[in-house]
Amino acid sequence: MNVILIGAQGSGKGTQADLLAGELGLPHVSSGDLFRQAMAEKTELGLKVKTYMDRGELVPDDLTVAMILSRLAMPDCARGVILDGFPRTVAQEQALDEGLHNVGKQIDLVFYLEVPREELLVRLSGRYICRANQHVYNVNTRPPKTPGVCDIDGSLLYQRPDDTGEAVQRRLNIFFSETIYLLDYYRDQGKLVVIDGNRPIEQVRASLIEAIQSR
Ligand SMILES: [Zn+2]
Protein backbone atom coordinates (compact mmCIF):
# COMPACT_ATOMS: atom_id res chain seq x y z
CA MET A 1 0.00 0.00 0.00
CA ASN A 2 1.38 3.38 -1.05
CA VAL A 3 0.21 6.16 1.26
CA ILE A 4 0.88 9.90 1.10
CA LEU A 5 0.66 12.21 4.11
CA ILE A 6 0.04 15.85 3.21
CA GLY A 7 0.28 18.56 5.82
CA ALA A 8 1.98 21.88 6.47
CA GLN A 9 5.28 22.08 8.31
CA GLY A 10 4.34 21.55 11.97
CA SER A 11 1.18 19.55 11.21
CA GLY A 12 2.66 16.43 12.82
CA LYS A 13 2.86 14.47 9.59
CA GLY A 14 6.45 13.32 10.29
CA THR A 15 5.43 11.87 13.65
CA GLN A 16 2.31 10.24 12.19
CA ALA A 17 4.26 8.85 9.23
CA ASP A 18 6.66 7.18 11.69
CA LEU A 19 3.77 5.66 13.66
CA LEU A 20 2.00 4.44 10.51
CA ALA A 21 5.21 3.00 9.09
CA GLY A 22 5.73 1.03 12.31
CA GLU A 23 2.13 -0.18 12.37
CA LEU A 24 2.06 -1.24 8.69
CA GLY A 25 5.68 -2.43 8.46
CA LEU A 26 6.44 -0.05 5.58
CA PRO A 27 9.35 2.38 5.16
CA HIS A 28 8.75 6.05 6.01
CA VAL A 29 10.20 8.06 3.12
CA SER A 30 10.55 11.75 3.91
CA SER A 31 11.80 14.15 1.23
CA GLY A 32 13.25 16.31 4.02
CA ASP A 33 15.31 13.38 5.38
CA LEU A 34 16.49 12.46 1.86
CA PHE A 35 17.56 16.09 1.31
CA ARG A 36 19.37 16.28 4.66
CA GLN A 37 21.13 12.98 3.99
CA ALA A 38 22.27 14.17 0.54
CA MET A 39 23.53 17.44 2.08
CA ALA A 40 25.36 15.66 4.91
CA GLU A 41 27.05 13.37 2.38
CA LYS A 42 27.81 16.44 0.23
CA THR A 43 26.69 14.68 -2.94
CA GLU A 44 26.29 16.78 -6.08
CA LEU A 45 22.53 16.71 -5.53
CA GLY A 46 23.01 17.56 -1.85
CA LEU A 47 25.05 20.69 -2.60
CA LYS A 48 22.42 21.90 -5.09
CA VAL A 49 19.66 21.22 -2.57
CA LYS A 50 21.53 23.17 0.12
CA THR A 51 21.53 26.43 -1.85
CA TYR A 52 17.71 26.32 -1.94
CA MET A 53 17.18 25.19 1.65
CA ASP A 54 19.54 27.91 2.97
CA ARG A 55 17.30 30.52 1.37
CA GLY A 56 14.15 28.91 2.78
CA GLU A 57 13.03 28.08 -0.75
CA LEU A 58 11.59 24.86 -2.08
CA VAL A 59 13.87 22.52 -4.02
CA PRO A 60 12.98 22.41 -7.78
CA ASP A 61 10.76 19.56 -8.96
CA ASP A 62 13.28 17.82 -11.23
CA LEU A 63 15.78 17.34 -8.37
CA THR A 64 13.11 16.22 -5.93
CA VAL A 65 11.31 13.82 -8.28
CA ALA A 66 14.55 12.12 -9.35
CA MET A 67 15.58 11.62 -5.74
CA ILE A 68 12.20 10.20 -4.64
CA LEU A 69 11.79 7.82 -7.59
CA SER A 70 15.24 6.33 -7.05
CA ARG A 71 14.39 5.82 -3.36
CA LEU A 72 11.06 4.13 -4.25
CA ALA A 73 12.89 1.74 -6.58
CA MET A 74 14.79 0.24 -3.61
CA PRO A 75 13.76 -3.29 -2.49
CA ASP A 76 12.37 -2.21 0.91
CA CYS A 77 9.67 -0.17 -0.87
CA ALA A 78 8.34 -3.17 -2.85
CA ARG A 79 5.33 -3.73 -0.52
CA GLY A 80 4.55 -0.05 -0.26
CA VAL A 81 5.68 3.15 1.39
CA ILE A 82 4.55 6.02 3.60
CA LEU A 83 5.45 9.24 1.76
CA ASP A 84 5.92 12.39 3.85
CA GLY A 85 6.64 15.83 2.40
CA PHE A 86 6.24 14.72 -1.20
CA PRO A 87 4.60 15.51 -3.59
CA ARG A 88 4.21 19.24 -2.90
CA THR A 89 2.97 20.45 -6.28
CA VAL A 90 0.61 19.20 -8.98
CA ALA A 91 3.60 18.86 -11.34
CA GLN A 92 5.33 16.62 -8.77
CA GLU A 93 2.29 14.43 -8.23
CA GLN A 94 1.86 13.93 -11.98
CA ALA A 95 5.54 12.97 -12.24
CA LEU A 96 5.11 10.61 -9.29
CA ASP A 97 2.02 8.96 -10.81
CA GLU A 98 3.84 8.50 -14.10
CA GLY A 99 6.94 7.09 -12.39
CA LEU A 100 4.82 4.62 -10.38
CA HIS A 101 2.68 3.69 -13.38
CA ASN A 102 5.85 2.76 -15.31
CA VAL A 103 6.61 0.09 -12.72
CA GLY A 104 3.01 -1.10 -12.32
CA LYS A 105 2.27 0.71 -9.05
CA GLN A 106 -0.03 3.48 -7.86
CA ILE A 107 -0.86 5.72 -4.93
CA ASP A 108 -3.62 4.05 -2.89
CA LEU A 109 -4.52 6.53 -0.16
CA VAL A 110 -3.81 10.19 0.58
CA PHE A 111 -4.26 11.81 3.99
CA TYR A 112 -4.45 15.53 4.61
CA LEU A 113 -3.63 16.49 8.21
CA GLU A 114 -5.59 19.69 8.64
CA VAL A 115 -4.20 22.17 11.22
CA PRO A 116 -5.06 25.93 11.37
CA ARG A 117 -2.26 28.32 10.43
CA GLU A 118 -2.24 30.05 13.87
CA GLU A 119 -1.68 26.68 15.55
CA LEU A 120 1.13 25.81 13.11
CA LEU A 121 2.95 29.04 13.99
CA VAL A 122 2.74 28.29 17.73
CA ARG A 123 4.05 24.76 17.18
CA LEU A 124 6.89 25.78 14.85
CA SER A 125 8.22 28.73 16.84
CA GLY A 126 8.89 26.39 19.78
CA ARG A 127 10.34 23.47 17.86
CA TYR A 128 13.83 22.15 18.65
CA ILE A 129 15.60 19.12 17.13
CA CYS A 130 18.43 17.04 18.62
CA ARG A 131 21.74 17.00 16.75
CA ALA A 132 22.36 13.27 16.98
CA ASN A 133 19.05 11.74 15.85
CA GLN A 134 16.63 14.58 14.99
CA HIS A 135 14.33 13.81 17.93
CA VAL A 136 11.71 16.56 18.03
CA TYR A 137 10.87 18.71 21.10
CA ASN A 138 8.73 21.77 21.64
CA VAL A 139 9.44 24.29 24.40
CA ASN A 140 5.69 25.03 24.60
CA THR A 141 4.11 21.61 24.27
CA ARG A 142 6.80 18.94 24.68
CA PRO A 143 9.87 20.30 26.50
CA PRO A 144 12.95 18.15 27.25
CA LYS A 145 13.60 17.24 30.93
CA THR A 146 16.84 19.25 30.86
CA PRO A 147 16.60 22.48 28.82
CA GLY A 148 18.58 22.28 25.57
CA VAL A 149 19.46 18.56 25.88
CA CYS A 150 17.84 15.49 24.26
CA ASP A 151 16.18 13.12 26.79
CA ILE A 152 17.00 10.08 24.69
CA ASP A 153 20.63 10.49 23.60
CA GLY A 154 21.93 13.55 25.53
CA SER A 155 22.88 15.50 22.39
CA LEU A 156 22.30 19.26 22.15
CA LEU A 157 19.06 20.68 20.75
CA TYR A 158 18.91 23.33 18.03
CA GLN A 159 16.37 25.09 15.82
CA ARG A 160 16.57 24.33 12.14
CA PRO A 161 17.08 27.48 10.05
CA ASP A 162 13.83 26.65 8.24
CA ASP A 163 11.93 26.47 11.57
CA THR A 164 12.50 30.12 12.51
CA GLY A 165 10.80 33.46 11.83
CA GLU A 166 10.55 34.52 8.22
CA ALA A 167 11.48 31.12 6.79
CA VAL A 168 8.46 29.61 8.58
CA GLN A 169 6.10 32.30 7.27
CA ARG A 170 7.46 31.80 3.76
CA ARG A 171 7.02 28.03 3.87
CA LEU A 172 3.49 28.30 5.27
CA ASN A 173 2.65 30.81 2.52
CA ILE A 174 3.88 28.35 -0.09
CA PHE A 175 1.92 25.54 1.51
CA PHE A 176 -1.38 27.40 1.70
CA SER A 177 -1.04 28.99 -1.75
CA GLU A 178 0.28 25.96 -3.72
CA THR A 179 0.40 22.62 -1.93
CA ILE A 180 -3.24 22.89 -0.96
CA TYR A 181 -4.17 22.37 -4.64
CA LEU A 182 -2.84 18.82 -4.44
CA LEU A 183 -5.91 17.93 -2.47
CA ASP A 184 -8.27 18.50 -5.42
CA TYR A 185 -6.22 16.17 -7.59
CA TYR A 186 -6.51 13.27 -5.15
CA ARG A 187 -10.10 14.13 -4.14
CA ASP A 188 -11.11 13.76 -7.80
CA GLN A 189 -9.54 10.29 -7.78
CA GLY A 190 -11.46 9.32 -4.63
CA LYS A 191 -8.21 8.77 -2.71
CA LEU A 192 -8.28 11.72 -0.30
CA VAL A 193 -9.15 11.46 3.40
CA VAL A 194 -9.07 14.68 5.47
CA ILE A 195 -8.00 14.18 9.10
CA ASP A 196 -8.35 16.78 11.87
CA GLY A 197 -4.69 17.22 12.87
CA ASN A 198 -5.44 19.73 15.63
CA ARG A 199 -5.78 16.99 18.26
CA PRO A 200 -3.42 14.93 20.46
CA ILE A 201 -1.03 12.59 18.60
CA GLU A 202 -2.80 9.42 19.77
CA GLN A 203 -6.23 10.57 18.52
CA VAL A 204 -4.83 11.53 15.12
CA ARG A 205 -3.06 8.16 14.89
CA ALA A 206 -6.28 6.30 15.71
CA SER A 207 -8.16 8.18 12.94
CA LEU A 208 -5.48 7.31 10.39
CA ILE A 209 -5.52 3.60 11.28
CA GLU A 210 -9.33 3.53 11.19
CA ALA A 211 -9.35 5.08 7.70
CA ILE A 212 -6.82 2.53 6.43
CA GLN A 213 -8.73 -0.40 7.89
CA SER A 214 -12.01 0.76 6.36
CA ARG A 215 -10.50 0.54 2.85
ZN1 LIG B 1 17.95 12.75 20.41
5-52 pLDDT tens trace = 999 988 999 999 999 999 999 999 998 888 888 889 998 888 998 999
What per-residue confidence (pLDDT) applies to 17? 95
Give, to the nearest 10 degrees, the angle between helix 61-72 and helix 44-54: 130
138 alpha carbon – ligand 1 mean position (Å): 13
* 65 pLDDT tier (thresholds 50, 70, 90): confident
Homologous superfamily assigned to 2-213? P-loop containing nucleotide triphosphate hydrolases (3.40.50.300)
pTM above 0.85, yes or no: no
Kindly list the domain boundaries of the chain, sorted by start residue.
2-213
45 alpha carbon – ligand 1 mean position (Å): 27
Nearest residue to 176 (alpha-carbon basis) of 4, 11, 1, 2: 11
Of 36, 48, 105, 160, the active-site residue reads: 160
What per-residue confidence (pLDDT) applies to 122? 83
Q: What is the pLDDT of residues 178-201, one digit of tens each?
A: 888 889 999 999 999 999 999 999
* 115 pLDDT tier (thresholds 50, 70, 90): very high
**What distance in Å separates the CA atoms of residue 157 and residue 145, rounded to the nearest whole number?**
12
195 alpha carbon – ligand 1 mean position (Å): 28
Beta strands in 104-162, from DSSP E residues, in sequence order: 109-114, 127-130, 136-138, 157-158
What per-residue confidence (pLDDT) applies to 36? 87
**What distance in Å separates the CA atoms of residue 27 and residue 77, rounded to the nearest whole number?**
7
130 alpha carbon – ligand 1 mean position (Å): 5
Question: Strand pairing partners for 107?
Answer: none
Cα angle value 100/102/106 (rounded, 5°): 30
152 alpha carbon – ligand 1 mean position (Å): 5
What per-residue confidence (pLDDT) applies to 77? 94
What per-residue confidence (pLDDT) applies to 22? 95
Q: For the residues of 160-194, what is the DSSP string, one character each?
A: -GGGSHHHHHHHHHHHHHTGGGHHHHHHHTT-EEE
CA 56 to chain centre: 16
153 alpha carbon – ligand 1 mean position (Å): 5
Is 160 catalytic? The answer is: yes
Nearest residue to 15 (alpha-carbon basis) of 176, 197, 215, 210: 197
Is 42 catalytic? The answer is: no
H/E run at residue 47? helix 44-54
137 alpha carbon – ligand 1 mean position (Å): 9
Q: What is the pLDDT of residues 66-111, one digit of tens each?
A: 889 889 999 999 999 999 988 988 889 999 999 899 988 999 999 9
Is 127 catalytic? The answer is: yes
